[in-house]
Structure 1
Amino acid sequence: MNRLCAFYDLIRRSRSAHFWAWCGVIIALQIGAPARAEVRQLGIDIPVYWYADASDTLTLNAFLSLPEEALKTAPLIPSFGYSTKAYWLRTSLPAALFAGEQRWLQLGPSFVDRLTVFYRPYGSDSPWRQKEFGDHASARDNDLDYRESVLILPPPPTAAGYEMVFRLQSSSTLILLATLSSP
């Protein structure tokens, strides 16, 4: 407290233009342009299309072969309440969202029983990479040692970006909170 009072007293007594100029520079640097991570939310910033699988027998290939008319658009964050159905969601992450750098896809909430993520470069014939998350997943494929589920995506190899598919199933409320951000 004494240091703060001494600093205030120094400012009050000082009439030096040099001192005030340096104070202005320091204040300008503090509020100027803070570094901010770019954050995109699936469902809000990035469109998501979904399908409810009542039979719980749909495979990835069967979901991908569904006609476009069978999919519904999630107008906001994908949220389905309490349901025994498995939900399949599809989206694409254009390369422009990456700006040539890796991005972190944080997935939640943490109380979801099973969340399977499939991804590959958009339009490619390469095999789908699969990651498992959730309370009941056999293995937690987290890319970071962190309490939340995080998938680290390298910059896409093509300008088309990534295509992603999520399979969501839970005994509690079904919601997908997925945020793409810079590290």
Structure 2
Amino acid sequence: MNRLCAFYDLIRRSRSAHFWAWCGVIIALQIGAPARAEVRQLGIDIPVYWYADASDTLTLNAFLSLPEEALKTAPLIPSFGYSTEAYWLRTSLPAALFAGEQRWLQLGPSFVDRLTVFYRPYGSDSPWRQKEFGDHASARDNDLDYRESVLILPPPPTAAGYEMVFRLQSSSTLILLATLSSPQEFVRSATLDT
């Protein structure tokens, strides 16, 4: 409160030109401040393609070999209501989203039974990295000690970025909330949430 009163006292006592000069300095500092890293939401900002596996027998390779026509586009956040089917989702994260830095992929919601994430550099023949999340996962492969699941992705080795596949299965509502952000933006957002 004292700082606010001191600010108003400064305005009252200072000459008009002096006051406007200080306002200009403050505005210039705000404009010149580095912009916050963008937050990208899968399904809204990044296209996601999905397939419902009614038989629950599909493997990663079988999903990847499906024709493009068999996949549907998620127009918004991928949400499928209550279903006993397993859902496979595919997306790519171009290197431009990383700006040469690591990105944190927050995955949720926390009540999903099983969420398996496969990823590798886009178009490479390298083996898929696999992470398990969810209430019924045998091991929680969280890269961060946080209440939500977080996957830390290093900057991609090529400009093509990463290709990612998600396998989602749950006895409750099926939804994939996946947010890609810089570590700084993640911490800022997590601080506001608590």
Q: Structure 1 159/23 Cα, relative in aligned 2: closer, same or farther at 3 Å?
A: closer
Give the TM-score normalised by structure 1.
0.90
TM-score by length of 2: 0.86
Superposed CA offset, 1:93-114 (max 9, x none): 1112112111111111111111
Classify 1:11/1:93 alpha carbon distance in 2 versus 1 (closer, same or farther; 3 Å). Answer: same
Distance 1:2 1:77 in 2: 46
Q: Are residues 1:175 and 2:175 paired?
A: yes
Q: CA deviation at 1:61?
A: 1.1
Distance change >3 Å, CA 4–CA 156, structure 1 → 2? closer
Out of 70-79 and 32-41, give the one that drifted further.
32-41
| Structure holding more helix per residue | 2
User: Structure 2: which 5+ residue stretches go unaligned?
Assistant: 184-194
From the CA coordinates, give the structure whose radius of gyration is larger: 1
Task: Output the CA distance in 1 between the equivalents of 2:10 and 2:120.
Answer: 61
1:8-45 CA-partner distances (Å, limit 9, x unpaired): 23431232744652354135424654531211111111
SS at match of 1:7: helix
Pair 114,5 (structure 1): closer, same or farther in 2 beyond 3 Å: same
Distance 1:133 1:19, change over 3 A: same
Gapped regions of structure 1 (runs ≥ 5): none
- Secondary structure, aligned partner of 1:144: coil
State, as a whole percentage, how many aligned pairs show the same letter.
99
- Kindly state the Cα deviation for residue 176 of structure 1 after the two structures are TM-superposed: 0.6
Going from structure 1 to structure 2, the CA distance change for 1:2 and 1:144 (only over 3 Å counts) comes to closer
Using the TM superposition, give the Cα deviation of residue 126 of structure 1 relative to its aligned residue in structure 2, in angstroms.
Answer: 0.8
With over 3 angstroms needed to count, the CA separation of the structure-2 counterparts of 1:157 and 1:2, relative to structure 1, is closer
Closer, same or farther in 2 for the Cα pair 1:12/1:156, shift >3 Å?
A: same
Q: C-alpha separation between the residues in 2 aligned to 1:47 and 1:7?
A: 48
Backbone CA RMSD of aligned residues? 1.9
Q: CA deviation at 1:143?
A: 0.9
Secondary structure (helix, strand or coil) at the match of 1:28 reads helix
User: Residue 161 of structure 1: CA displacement?
Assistant: 1.1
Query: What are the superposed Cα offsets for residues 58-107 of structure 1, whole Å, 9 maximum, x if unpaired?
Result: 11111111111111111111110000100000111111211211111111
Quote the offset at 1:51 in angstroms.
0.6
CA distance in 2, matches of 1:127, 1:63: 16
Please list every run of at least 4 consecutive aligned residues from structure 1 whose deviation after the TM superposition is greater than 6 angstroms: none
> Does the C-alpha gap of structure 1 residues 13 and 173 become closer, same or farther in structure 2, counting only changes over 3 Å?
same
Hey, what's the Cα distance between the residues in 2 that align with 1:33 and 1:4?
Answer: 23
Most deviating of 47-56 and 18-27: 18-27
